[in-house]
Structure 1
């Protein structure tokens, strides 16, 4: 859907005053447009960036047949000609089929054996060394008895082709190694280095502007007057945005004045692809964000059937019927309470930012756990309670809510290690019930 489409048209089947979380995500997805600018960066600078093109292997990996372990390389055809030696019997009394080979050289990683082998000959070989010509099998060194220049081993323990890695077995020349839309991880960096790739095509970093609203807010380092609080939201937003490797633009604190808010939103929309605010979305007398946004663009929804995070606005600045910006910029108006800011970011905003960055966004890891105590829940809204998950003696996961579930108690987020996901239609849960949890590790 293009930015010229009417965003409110997506809501015909829903009540925008209490939109279910799943419906809100669907609406947001319809208006996400990935950035199109492509940059070429040095390999190490690609970590955390989004691939703009497939990475196609320019070489075979491995580049040659090589040994999978230390041992002796030989032609597997020799295995068909062992001799039975009666005095080398196994536990059942059967004669072992001993194969004796002459050692005529050595192959090391980076120092291949360059000669040729005759029938009945072998080469001492180390892991990763290229297989000599006419050799296709490696017998591990622990299977072998060596005497001088000869080795002997039980031929029944080896099959032709054993312990050999084939050319192109990991990656064949011309085959994709990584696909566009992937967020480059540490293993990917190593993989591309193994292919000799020095530069990578990536999407440009998404620009996200954010600010807090409220006359009561003070920045860290300023004096704290009576009735005022320090602004924590900009710091958690900075951290969450940095984890997504976007370009964060901190616009500070905006006072509860319509003119100041209007100017801040216009500035943010001009500078960024996405604008995030915290506070000013509820129905309070001094909460101007919703009204100001309506004059600058479109609003899709402003309340969700969600806890914490009911007051959450989504829309566009400079969209149809609006305003002054040269292009439509997506806007998320997050609640003011610090826990609600984090919950709404991870449940609604995170996926949108990943998709706009050009990434193939996947849902965070989620798995089942058993409640170790009762959980109170009202049906008709999705709840994301803060939980502490532990592993029981039987290996199963169990979870308990943190001591406080208040949306202003940020210490509970630091205490917790997971979200307890309570779906829209769920009600109170008894101890022993199964719930889904989303671990913080790798997410927060």
Structure 2
């Protein structure tokens, strides 16, 4: 895989002190490669796993031409000779699960159930609700313009043809995919092994839940938000707790994380003015760079690859402020981990809506304001910010249901302007 410095050297306008969001994502994307381990698991255990190879359909789905509804199957030639109405004699009944019945012949139809194999010579089904049956049930009558030739017939291989790709490698398997796999007769499927992610917080001021709060100390919230965000990715978690600002303790934590995980995520220790131990040890263990990204919140960040004990791992050094941790995770780490998992996941979609208020913004950085998206008085969707947008105000993330994404070159927003929002639904 290319080294971080090799990728960076290809960027003519690279500036680690003012790196645009797009540049950071480009660098990360070129450095990260998927894990190679593959497992074969029962399809009941495959939910949210990453498909390791294309699934090729071994059969035609459906396996025969069949009826799309309950009704009467007949040859469409009867429509051409009809003068306003079609009258047909009932020649039999076809049930789902049975084989094809014989050709009913001219002027005849077959009573057919949903999913039943189309009788030989029949290509059209008239729904039963459009039909008048004789008192003894031996004949039917319906308006000729009720159906057209070929209506209500599902063709063999219409959903999937034998040899066609049913699911593509890199797909994160969803509930509907389990049903699709079962419909093709697959009891097991090959998936990428689950990614192992180690994470810890750094700082002498941090305390874990249950410990007394000394003067100047705070409870560590970042590990809990990271835990929740990582759980959504279905990775194996290694929670290493809080590591104090001590060179020996930090190095031991980094080495242990690296030797047991594919990716390491830390919070704190990468901002200007913080203890230098974390940055020094990150740099000493591998190919790591330190950025000031042109974004708000979440400006400081470290990225690279560290090695220890013959193993290496991706490293993401996130800021210490709670909201900045979440923003940098969603806009850098999430996509990188998906790539490392081997998952093909499209970029997070944006929705264009009206801003209910003015929002101050300076060009030259991307901003992620926390917003509340709701229907306005006229019924159209509009968004407003949650209030204070400081990177330490975690409550603003809890109250929000979207990010208001203000682009790098964008200026201030006036009330009524259209803005991009990224919904939390499906994200957080």
Q: Which residue of 2 aligns with 1:333?
A: 317
Q: What is the CA deviation profile of residues 72-125 of structure 1, one whole-angstrom value per residue up to 9, with x for unaligned ones?
A: 11122222332x4xxxxxxxxxxxx22211112222222456344232221111
Q: Which residue of 2 aligns with 1:423?
A: 407
* Secondary structure in 2 matching 1:328: strand
Q: Which residue of 2 aligns with 1:70?
A: 70
Q: Which residue of 1 aligns with 2:54?
A: 54
Give the total of aligned pairs: 426
Q: 2:59, 2:396 → 1: CA distance?
A: 51
Q: 1:338, 1:357 → 2: CA distance?
A: 25
CA displacement at 1:142 relative to structure 2: 1.8
Q: What is the CA deviation profile of residues 380-420 of structure 1, one whole-angstrom value per residue up to 9, with x for unaligned ones?
A: 21110100011235553211111121111111111000000
> Does structure 1 conserve the Cα–Cα contact (< 8 Å) formed by 2:4 and 2:304?
no
- Greater alpha carbon shift after TM alignment, 287-296 vs 351-360: 287-296
Q: 1:217, 1:62 → 2: CA distance?
A: 60
Q: 2:332, 2:187 → 1: CA distance?
A: 36
Q: 1:5, 1:288 → 2: CA distance?
A: 22
Q: Which residue of 1 aligns with 2:120?
A: 133
Q: Which residue of 2 aligns with 1:162?
A: 151
> Does structure 2 conserve the Cα–Cα contact (< 8 Å) formed by 1:317 and 1:325?
no
Unaligned runs of 5+ in 2: none
> Does structure 1 conserve the Cα–Cα contact (< 8 Å) formed by 2:62 and 2:157?
yes
Q: Which residue of 1 aligns with 2:289?
A: 300
Q: Which residue of 1 aligns with 2:15?
A: 15
* Secondary structure in 1 matching 2:44: helix
> Does structure 1 conserve the Cα–Cα contact (< 8 Å) formed by 2:76 and 2:122?
yes
Q: 2:345, 2:405 → 1: CA distance?
A: 19
* Secondary structure in 1 matching 2:327: helix
> Does structure 2 conserve the Cα–Cα contact (< 8 Å) formed by 1:371 and 1:398?
yes
> Does structure 2 conserve the Cα–Cα contact (< 8 Å) formed by 1:71 and 1:139?
yes
**Alignment RMSD:** 1.7
- Residue pairs, 1:279-428, within 5 angstroms: 279-318=268-307, 324-392=308-376, 394-428=378-412
Structure 1 residue corresponding to 2:250, chosen from 246, 261, 264? 261
CA displacement at 1:7 relative to structure 2: 5.8
- Residue pairs, 1:101-140, within 5 angstroms: 101-112=88-99, 114-140=101-127
Q: 1:11, 1:198 → 2: CA distance?
A: 48
Q: 1:23, 1:285 → 2: CA distance?
A: 25
Q: Which residue of 1 aligns with 2:174?
A: 185
Q: 2:106, 2:79 → 1: CA distance?
A: 11
Q: TM-score if structure 2 supplies the norm length?
A: 0.95
- Residue pairs, 1:82-97, within 5 angstroms: 82=82, 84=83, 97=84
> Does structure 1 conserve the Cα–Cα contact (< 8 Å) formed by 2:49 and 2:172?
yes
* Secondary structure in 1 matching 2:200: strand
Q: 1:428 to 1:5 in 2, by over 3 A?
A: closer
Q: 2:402, 2:175 → 1: CA distance?
A: 24
* Secondary structure in 2 matching 1:419: strand
> Does structure 2 conserve the Cα–Cα contact (< 8 Å) formed by 1:54 and 1:176?
yes
Q: 1:375 to 1:5 in 2, by over 3 A?
A: closer
Q: 2:246, 2:38 → 1: CA distance?
A: 39
Q: 2:377, 2:97 → 1: CA distance?
A: 49
Q: TM-score if structure 1 supplies the norm length?
A: 0.92
- Greater alpha carbon shift after TM alignment, 175-184 vs 117-126: 117-126
Q: What is the CA deviation profile of residues 208-256 of structure 1, one whole-angstrom value per residue up to 9, with x for unaligned ones?
A: 1110001111112223333221111111111111111111111111001
CA displacement at 1:159 relative to structure 2: 2.2
Q: 2:146, 2:7 → 1: CA distance?
A: 69
Q: 1:117 to 1:126 in 2, by over 3 A?
A: same
Q: 2:280, 2:304 → 1: CA distance?
A: 12
